[in-house]
Amino acid sequence: AQSVTQLGSHVSVSEGALVLLRCNYSSSVPPYLFWYVQYPNQGLQLLLKYTTGATLVKGINGFEAEFKKSETSFHLTKPSAHMSDAAEYFCAVRGAITGANNLFFGTGTRLTVIP
C-alpha cells in the first residue's frame, strides 16, 4: 500500500540554520517521491521530485532531498533557512497502479523560521 509518514507536524529552526524535514514512505512498486510546499492561502507548489536515476535531487529555493531505499526515506533539507521558507511542506508518493497518476500525501510539516 502506498503511504508516507512525515515525522514532526511542526518544526522550528532559526534563520540561517539547517532545515531537515523527515519523510518515510511505503510503496509496493518502485517509488516516485515528491515534496510540495504550501504557503498560506495558496495551493501546493512542487519543490522537487525523485523518479529514477540520481538519488540526490535538487529543487527550487535551495532545497534538496535524498532518496535512500534502504531506509525508505526521502528527507528534505536546506543548508540555511530563510524567513521566506516558513510554510507547510508535504511529502507524497505515487499510486501503485500502473499508469496511475494519483499521489498520496503525508500529513504535512509546518516549518517556522525564527529570526
x-or-dash string of contact with other proteins, 37-76, rule CB under 8 A: ----xxxxxx--x-x-------------------------
Q: Distance between CA atoms of 115 and 33, rounded to whole angstroms? A: 31
Q: Which residues face 20 on adjacent strands?
A: 77
Site membership for other proteins, residue 104 (CB under 8 A): yes
Task: For residue 61, give the C-alpha cell.
Answer: 529555493
CA 78 from chain center: how many Å?
11
Nearer to other proteins, 18 or 44 (CB): 44
Whether 106 contacts 23, CB under 8 Å: yes
- If binding means CB under 8 A, how many residues of this protein chain bind other proteins? 24
Chain positions contacting other proteins, by CB under 8 A: 6, 9, 32, 34, 36, 41-46, 49, 51, 90, 94, 100-108
